Structure 1
Amino acid sequence: MIDKHRLPIRAFDALAVGRPDPETVRTLRNAALSKQMLRLHVLLESSESFDRSAFDLLAEVQRKAPEAVAEVLLYPNVVAWAAACLSRSYGSSADRMAVAADFTHLGGIAAAAVLSGGLDLPATVPVRRGLVALPGLGCAEIGTESVDGTARVRPLAGGGAEISTGHRTVVLPADPEAVAPGWHGLRRLSSTHGGRTIVVLLDDLDPFRDTHRLGAAVRLPTAAVENWRRALDGAWEILTRHHPERAAALAAGLRVVTPLEHRGGGRERSASSADAPGALAATLPGDPLLLAETLVHEFQHDTLSALLDLVPLHRADPEERLYAPWRDDPRPLGGLFQGAYAYLGVTDFWGRLQAESTGPDASYAQYTFALWRDQTRRAIDSIRRSGGITEAGTRFVAGMYAALEEWAHVPVPAMPRRLAQDTAAEHTLTWRLRHLRPDPGWLEPAAAAWPGGTVPAPAGPPVLAPAAGSGPSGARAELRRLWLRRPAEFARATGHPGDRAQVAGDYEEALGHYAVGPASAEEWAALAVCARRVDAGPAAEVLVTLPETVAAVHREIVRCGGDPPEPLELARWLGPVLAAPAGDWTSSVGLA
């Protein structure tokens, strides 16, 4: 049944400050069920060729065991399947053909509902590449990869089921996690601390689990599952001890973790999707503390996405034009809104931890807290100035700002504060260097005037011209993490000598390394930060306000056959004609 849904204003306000209770999470979940049912109805009506038998079976289960249908339809990867089918049903002819094939997955969904409801109803399910997928339960290996077709699922007395084709039969045990020939069950992770329990499925099987195209891991070995189990247990202990309210909401809303492949570079990755509510995808973090942060971060995204289905907070604005302090590329308003809400939760997470941690963890918590407190404020300010938020969005953003202001006057020791300021400034400067371009008609005469001529004033400020390709490596941010949490690893770290000196606070030495000839946007950004830190005068001011202009003139001089200028001298020479930008994409760089 598709219901109407209302969200009490107190629940809306609690969501705005990032503190929903379990009842609010369940309200959002109920609304998501109605949306999912609408998707199914639209899909069925989109083509007369779709086989309705699976839908009819699902309707029969709905009459006898509605809770089982709700659980299966709201399984995150079932929502992802429905969203993908619906989106592609309006695409090209090739897309529509793919939808016809994918729609048969509804048979596996209906069979999973039958088994979850404990009903004695046979089901016909698709076989794709030799596998029968039952969402939320696992998959049966019914043939080789060349086998496609259908199989029959027959529930067994006492639980479980028999899955058979004309050539092979696999028995699904009463406990889907149990080991059985040909059966691969999803592994369940659970943890209890402080009287609160969380239970999630580690889904490394579902054919629609890679919603984000980030590389979902294939079937994990037992040892890797145990690593996840230990990490979740440690993260849950942290959350229940320091964030019991968040823990309660998480336990009510998070159902699935999709492990991601570890790729080169060692950087941890995580994501959530509006098309897979109740799930997050992540590489296994290095320790429980970082997994706890990931749970908070991604659940904030998940919660906001669910709310946006009920209440529009901003107008549609797909133009990628805004600076987001956590992204290397310009973002649309919706993306900035999502990120600001996620980092509001991250700020609160580290804010509580920094007051209660000791040793290296305390310094790291103070650093991360200071970084995201200030960066989130910048993002919220940008949202408020955007002119794109609705009346409800105005109230919501006011709540976000009020929640952030609770942390505004919390002092942070000098060393972690310095590192946080450097990280924030470098991100801003690198973003400008990659995505802003000065007037190309001004560059050639400016370069020709170097070094003894009079440089003309540019006709206007730099304009947004988003760069393609991958973003910065984040090497210095990683070095700061090692400096704070793993001093021995920092001592062994290799890389640009200027990076190590800068992180350690030796800005004079670092400046000497970077000034030799910055080759990348990251090196120009580091040069600007170090110049400002050592009080290099007007040159530093130009570098931290218009780094992209100095770098562009530098490149133009070299392109025209000149010797590479010394960056500080070039910045000092350009200073008199370059006005500091006002109200631009990135605001000012804070280095106090």
Structure 2
Amino acid sequence: MIKVHSRCDLACDYCYMYEHADQSWRGRPMGLAPETATRIAFRIAEHAAAHQLSEVAIVLHGGEPLLLGVDRTREFLAALHAAIAPVARLNLHIHTNGILLSPAFLDLFTEYNVRVGVSLDGDRTANDRHRLYRNGRSSYDQVSKSLELLRRPQYRALFSGLLCTVDIANDPIAVYRGLLEQDPPRMDLIMPHSNWEHQPPGLRSRRDPDNPTQGGGEYAQWLIAVFDAWNADGRPIPLRTFESVIAAMYGRPSSAEAIGLDQVDLLVIETDGSLEQVDSLKTAFEGAAATGLNVFDNSLDEAAVLPGVTVRRDGIDGVSAVCQSCSVVQVCGGGFYPDRYRPGAGFDNPSVYCSDLKEMIDHVAESEVAAGRGGAQTSAHEAPAQAHSLSDDQFDQLAAGFGDAATIDWLAQAQSSLQRELLAGVGRFGPQKDEKFTAAWDVLVSLDASAPDAVATVLAHPYTRVWATALLEGVSAGEPAAADVRHLQAVAASAALHAGRDLRLPIPVRDGVAPLPTFGAVKAGAEDQVWIETGSVEGLDLIQPLRRLTATGLSVPLEDTDPYRIGHTFAADRLDDAEARRWQAAFAAGIDFLDAHLPRYAPGLRTGLRAVMPMEPEESYDRSASMRAAFGAVGIALRQSLVSAALPLIHEFQHVKMGAILDMFALFDRADTAPRYYAPWRPDPRPIEGLLQGTYAHIGVTDFWRVHRTVAEGAQRQASEREFVRWRMMTAEAIRQLQGSGSLTPLGERFAEGMSATVRPWLDEPVDAEAERAAVAAARAHRAAFEERVQVRDDVNA
């Protein structure tokens, strides 16, 4: 947190900077001097490089940071980028009262991708209780104008949310509704900074630090009223206060400094270059935040080891003994550190809000249980460990090559979280000056608040992630493809259709049609876009409606319209009706075969399969493909045999599972990227990830032939026998290569052992002797040829 200006144009009577014990602001420069700014940038870059940080989060703060002015703010942002961007990604924010927000500032923040948070205490009545000019005049109208500006499509992506300081004298519901009226992307409620000496305003009686859980709970009741309204509204936007509590209940990072036991890595740099602890400590006593260090004489490492800083990284060891024995300490984290201060005892105490926190946390936990999200828990400390936690049994199911419906649903939910993160990146890093892009983003944000299921449906489509990844890679390279940028319009229009919102929205045209994800393609004319009414699907002129493949208990898209399916090599063009009927027959027969003969795969496939993408056929083999970024999609090219659909379904869905597993778990050393491992089915060396992917997929292939040989007849049975013998030998050898690589993590070793346990019994199954002799001879010849090629390559390189 960098204090770029130490004065303010409002006179809020609760401000911890000006109205509490520490008055050190009086002796500091008003604005950040250029030489101080340069030194700050250097110190942060020095720290990021020394610790190989991938990202540095910086908040411009004050006082009121906009008082620095547009030109000097630009100079400072340029200095930060010049020094830090070469070594770490910059995550820039500014927190402002909004009074001076202007197009000039917002254009600057667009240029440097600075997210903007604004302080507002609710409706006019609540806001004007404290947030006034020095002459007593209301600031509400000016802040409202600034927020209106910030919500414009070209600036909307910069808007990070509203911060409201709680005053229990205000009507909690009026405050909540007043904040919602400003249409923020998220909001946060914070308690007034208080401690055991200077207790929170509005209490009916003074609280006793020796009995911290005893108290009137006035603040708890205020927060509970807001929580219940927010919960009843369907949680229309993120409200960090409660989402942090819920996250901490389930073992996830809370994202809030005042909730949970997550490490707090926050340093404050004042306008004179002084390095300080969190600035809200100024409420405790004069000099409470001071370290005696500065950017001219000291590195950030020197500040990082100070006791007042390290105690906030100590987890449960950093809270008082009273808190350590409390049932909700994992959630409340002992409360906000400055709120624990007590004269004579320092900060080794529970928060002055202890009773409020416990009452509020228990209420939220009970609401989670009532909604069916918390199992049989009755209080926060009994909540499930994590939202995306996998049991040992489920992990072992996946390692064995299988996975029941609940396990594959876990993978799908984890993928959904990843896709939302990607979409947030699209909104944050996409071209903010492109009005078509920002207008589509505004539609999507609004739908996500009012019809989240509709947005979730579009995000679950496999090729939405392929598009988002392509766009972000283009942004990173500095040249996002125009088609990728425009596709956000199609995503937004699709979500509006699923929501049944009566809007008129554009869809970009590609190759003579306008693709609409999850619906197909709309007829297009000569223009580069088509306008549609999104109130009803019936009104669409779908020239290429998305068809579906059905089988017992399963219905999935036959995806031959989405432009991002072309990431599969040999993607087929739009099928005619006769071809689509043949696909339907093959798909149903393939699923029937799995149900009858390979039932361990069927429940997971029914849960996780999201789309089947037709590929151009190849008569000599069953061509198939999957994409790491397209969870749930399999590409298949059909031959004449109807049962052939079962084999590529298993094969490629194994790849789908493995990709999702690797998104969630570190199974090998990520630095091991060289293609140096032997894969018995490939002529060339493979990187370890490729070997792991292929091995996992071929467990399914081996299992298919193992079973198919028992139901086939005549020559087909003999061919299936040969395939089984060949693939069990190659898969077992690949597992041995993985286990001997030295690159697997302990979790990866457990995973490889799970695969081995599945394959080992297959090696003991009796097979045709001639088929086994042929497979052994082929394996030896393949290995010899591989080693010869590797030796030749090494000689050439030498």
TM-score of Structure 1 vs Structure 2, range by shorter chain = 0.5 to 0.7
Q: Write the distance in 2 (CA, Å) between the matches of 1:292 and 1:345.
A: 11
The C-alpha deviation readout for 1:133-161, integer Å capped at 9, x for no partner, is 111111012114xx32x33221355x423
Match runs of 1:186-225 below 5 Å: 186-192=546-552, 197-212=553-568, 214-225=569-580
Going from structure 1 to structure 2, the CA distance change for 1:57 and 1:199 (only over 3 Å counts) comes to: same
Match runs of 1:8-23 below 5 Å: 8-23=391-406
Offset at 1:465? 6.3
Match runs of 1:74-89 below 5 Å: 74-89=460-475
The answer to whether residue 427 in structure 2 is matched with residue 49 in structure 1 is no
Going from structure 1 to structure 2, the CA distance change for 1:353 and 1:129 (only over 3 Å counts) comes to: closer
Going from structure 1 to structure 2, the CA distance change for 1:288 and 1:419 (only over 3 Å counts) comes to: farther
Matched residue of 1:152: which SS? strand
Offset at 1:15? 0.3
Q: Write the distance in 2 (CA, Å) between the matches of 1:418 and 1:160.
A: 62
Bigger shift: 49-58 or 250-259?
Answer: 49-58
Offset at 1:70? 1.4
Offset at 1:411? 0.8
Contact kept, 8 Å, 1:211 with 1:276, in 2: the verdict is no
Contact kept, 8 Å, 1:304 with 1:338, in 2: the verdict is yes
Contact kept, 8 Å, 1:366 with 1:417, in 2: the verdict is no
- TM-score of the pair, normalised by structure 2: 0.49
Identity %: 36
Q: Which residue of 1 aligns with 2:384?
A: none
| Aligned match for 2:686, one of 327, 331, 342 | 331
Q: Write the distance in 2 (CA, Å) between the matches of 1:29 and 1:411.
A: 38
Q: Which residue of 2 aligns with 1:179?
A: none
Match runs of 1:121-520 below 5 Å: 121-144=503-526, 147-148=527-528, 150-156=529-535, 159-162=537-540, 171-172=541-542, 183-192=543-552, 197-212=553-568, 214-262=569-617, 266-316=620-670, 317-437=672-792, 463=794
Q: Write the distance in 1 (CA, Å) between the matches of 2:570 and 2:707.
A: 33
Q: Which residue of 1 aligns with 2:182?
A: none
Offset at 1:48? 2.5
Q: Write the distance in 1 (CA, Å) between the matches of 2:535 and 2:748.
A: 52
Matched residue of 1:140: which SS? strand
Matched residue of 1:105: which SS? helix
Matched residue of 1:401: which SS? helix
Q: Write the distance in 2 (CA, Å) between the matches of 1:113 and 1:44.
A: 16
The C-alpha deviation readout for 1:211-263, integer Å capped at 9, x for no partner, is 13x12111112222122122112211211101122111111111212112236
Contact kept, 8 Å, 2:422 with 2:465, in 1: the verdict is no
Offset at 1:104? 1.5
| Aligned match for 1:32, one of 415, 418, 426 | 415
- TM-score of the pair, normalised by structure 1: 0.65
Q: Of the two structures, which has the highest relative contact order with CA contacts closer than 8 Å and spacing of 6 or more? A: 1
- Tell me how large the CA RMSD over aligned residues is: 2.3
Contact kept, 8 Å, 1:321 with 1:464, in 2: the verdict is no
Contact kept, 8 Å, 2:617 with 2:639, in 1: the verdict is no
Matched residue of 2:664: which SS? coil
The C-alpha deviation readout for 1:388-442, integer Å capped at 9, x for no partner, is 11111111111111111121210101233233334433433443344432xxxxx
The C-alpha deviation readout for 1:244-300, integer Å capped at 9, x for no partner, is 22111111111212112236x744421111111111112213423332111111111
Going from structure 1 to structure 2, the CA distance change for 1:421 and 1:222 (only over 3 Å counts) comes to: farther
Offset at 1:31? 1.0
Contact kept, 8 Å, 1:76 with 1:256, in 2: the verdict is yes
Aligned residue identity for 2:452: P
Aligned residue identity for 2:564: F
| Structure 2: runs of 5 or more not aligned | 1-237, 248-386
Going from structure 1 to structure 2, the CA distance change for 1:84 and 1:464 (only over 3 Å counts) comes to: farther
Q: Who wins on radius of gyration, i.e. which is larger?
A: 2
Q: Write the distance in 2 (CA, Å) between the matches of 1:347 and 1:40.
A: 38
Matched residue of 2:763: which SS? coil
Q: Write the distance in 1 (CA, Å) between the matches of 2:447 and 2:584.
A: 33
Matched residue of 2:639: which SS? coil
The C-alpha deviation readout for 1:448-474, integer Å capped at 9, x for no partner, is xxxxxxxxxxxxxx84769xxxxxxxx
Contact kept, 8 Å, 1:364 with 1:416, in 2: the verdict is no
Matched residue of 2:758: which SS? helix
Aligned residue identity for 1:135: P
How many matched pairs? 410
Matched residue of 1:280: which SS? strand
The C-alpha deviation readout for 1:98-150, integer Å capped at 9, x for no partner, is 1x441211111121122223333332322334321111111012114xx32x3
Q: Write the distance in 1 (CA, Å) between the matches of 2:663 and 2:712.
A: 38
Q: Which residue of 1 aligns with 2:495?
A: 113
Matched residue of 2:476: which SS? coil
